Amino acid sequence: MHTVKRWFSHSLPAQALVLFVLGLGFGAVFRRDDHPALWAVQSLLYTAVIIGVVAYQRRRTSRATGARPGTVDDLSRRIRHREVPEDPEERALMGRLVEDQLGKMERGSRWLPYWLGLMGLIAVGMLVLGATTGSLAFPVVFAVGVIAFCCGVLWMHKRTMGLLHHMRSALRDRV
């Protein structure tokens, strides 16, 4: 299982294949009346956009750290497991990766309250629309989903920031 996970995290074609199949499945489930060729075209389009964004992010991170994308993936896994490398060169790469990720997270932190507030306004708007039309089932489920999603985003943000700060201090202590 470890080799499959590693292969999947390093291989953009494998990720593209899974995204395409998932998109095709969602098209089949939610767009039953449409032609199957339309499902395939939409799934291909969504897959191309997502893989393009992922490839751009991987290349950007590789340039920032000075390492290959596979090495960046391995270092990210070691960061998640709080493993500090013994090799000084790997430590330097990991330090650059941690600083790059912390910079991205801190820049994103400025806009996080606004995005979460906007999502809350959308949920409240859905509840108001549901109350005025008399159908509250979907708006309540939607509002609960939005609240759960926002709580998950906040939890993940706090957890990731704590992990990155821990790794920054662990890397500085080892130098």
First and final C-alpha spacing in the chain:
35
SS (H, E, C) 113-137: HHHHHHHHHHHHHHHHHHHHHCCCH
In the block, residue with structure tokens 């074609």: 13
Q: What pLDDT digit, counting tens, does each position of 28-77 carry?
A: 888 888 888 988 999 999 999 999 999 999 999 889 888 888 888 888 88
Count of CA atoms in the C-beta half-sphere (13 A) of 175: 13
Phi first, then psi: give them for residue 75, nearest 5 degrees.
-65, -35
Q: What pLDDT digit, counting tens, does each position of 18-29 carry?
A: 999 999 998 888
As a whole number of angstroms, the distance between CA 161 and CA 106 comes to 9
Q: Where are the domains positioned within the chain?
A: 1-65, 85-175
Q: What pLDDT digit, counting tens, does each position of 151-164 carry?
A: 999 999 999 999 99
